[in-house]
Structures are given as structure tokens and as C-alpha cells.
Amino acid sequence: MSEKTMLRSRLLAARAALPPESLVESAESLARQGMELSELAEAATVAAYVSVGREPGTRALLDALHARGVRVLLPVLLPDNDLDWAAYEGPEALAKAGRGLLEPTGPRLGPEAVCAADTVLLPGLAVDGRGMRLGRGGGSYDRVLARLARAGVDPALVVLLYADEVVARVPEEPHDHPVHAVVTPRGVTRFSGAEA
């Protein structure tokens, strides 16, 4: 078993043990912390995602951004695990999709639409002090980060996590990209090695 696989298993088990009431409190705190983050406060377009299961909750943050007039792009999973994008039009415009995901029902904008984002919110399981992010291992966001690099755009990359998911070290591979900041229910940490 690889180091990444072992770390993922440990982190997913910790998430599974979280009491339901802490999930609601964490989501509300993430929204407050996120809305104070300059990369979100000043953004015209944010690429985000709808949290599912035990992921740190994004719904309150999505609604707050949408209410502020920010154009929020949400992913639509393609059969090859790449991501298309569509605009968030509120919770009533989300539909159940494969793998337990919720996806926007509006017109698809294409995989390149993410390149217009000022900030990209990334799901993850952990981040370390260098800003290296551990994802779930499906590769969808590795493709997004590679697409941004090919397009020559440099949006702020922000990962949303629980406080204990900021760890000493995340195993990395050559295709991994550091993030600029992590938002947890306890606050924001910025990483100097990944300047926006």
C-alpha cells in the first residue's frame, strides 16, 4: 500500500467518525472564514464544488458567494473523470449525479471554463506546510490544475479542510501542485511556496 493510500485511509476514517453536529458547525465556520479570505472577497468568478458526505461543507459558502454576486462555477464529472463546468444558480438548481455528487443543471460551459476563475476552491483530504494537497486520488483536479498551467493562468488555489487535516507532510508526485491557502473552521493558513 502506497504512502498516499495509507494517509487517505486514515483521513477518511477520521472523517467517518465525526459527529453529525460537528459537520454543521464546521460548514458554518468555513463559510465565515472563507468569506473573509481576500481571494474570495475580491473574486468575480470562483470555481468551487458541492461537498458531499463527510467532506467539509461548502453549501453555506456557495450560497454566500452567490448572494454576493460572485459567478460560481461548479464541476460536472465527465465519463473520463475530467471536469466540465456550469454556473451555480442556487441549491434548487442542483441535481443528483453519479458517485453521490450534486451537479448544477444549467448549460455546460466546457472544461476550459475553469480558466476564467479568479480563485479555485479544491477539495482535498490534507495539506502540509508547503501547501502540497492530498486529493482523493481520482485525478479530476490534477487535470484541472494542469489545464490552468497550460492556459498560463494563475488563479488563487484554496483547499477547504478540517483543522486536523493540516498535516506535517503530504507525499507528493511530480504532477502535484501546491495550493496558496487552506481554510479550516479555525482559520486561514497561507503558504509562501505557492504565491498567487
Binding residues: 4-8, 50, 55, 133-141
**Domain spanning 3-190: CATH 3.40.50.10420:** yes
* Percent of residues, the chain, with pLDDT higher than 90: 83
Q: What is the tens place of the pLDDT at every residue in 36-48?
A: 999 998 999 999 9
What are the boundaries of each domain within the chain? 3-190
Mean pLDDT of the chain: 92
Helix (H) or strand (E) holding 37: none
Q: How far apart are CA 136 and CA 124, in angstroms?
A: 6
* Segment 8-26 mean pLDDT: 93
* Percent of residues, the chain, with pLDDT higher than 70: 97
Q: Which three cell numbers stand for residue 142?
A: 490534477
Residue 196 pLDDT > 60, yes or no?
A: no
* Segment 63-84 mean pLDDT: 96
- Cα–Cα distance list, 126 to 67, 68, 92, 150, 178 (Å): 29, 29, 30, 25, 12
pLDDT class of 119 with cuts at 50, 70, 90: very high
| Residue 107, Cβ density class (10 Å: 0-12 exposed, 13-18 middle, ≥19 buried) | exposed
pLDDT class of 193 with cuts at 50, 70, 90: low
In order, the DSSP letters of 40-78 are: HHT-SEEE-----TTSPP-HHHHHHHHHTT-EEEEEEE-
Q: Which amino acid is at 86?
A: A
Q: What is the tens place of the pLDDT at every residue in 132-165?
A: 999 888 889 999 999 999 999 999 999 999 999 9
Residue 33 pLDDT > 90, yes or no?
A: yes
* pTM score, whole prediction: 0.93
pLDDT the model gives residue 177: 84
Residue 117 pLDDT > 70, yes or no?
A: yes
Residue 82 pLDDT > 50, yes or no?
A: yes
* Segment 98-123 mean pLDDT: 95
Binding residues for substrate: 50, 55
pLDDT the model gives residue 173: 84
Binding residues for ATP: 4-8, 133-141
pLDDT class of 176 with cuts at 50, 70, 90: confident
* Segment 107-115 mean pLDDT: 98
pLDDT class of 195 with cuts at 50, 70, 90: very low
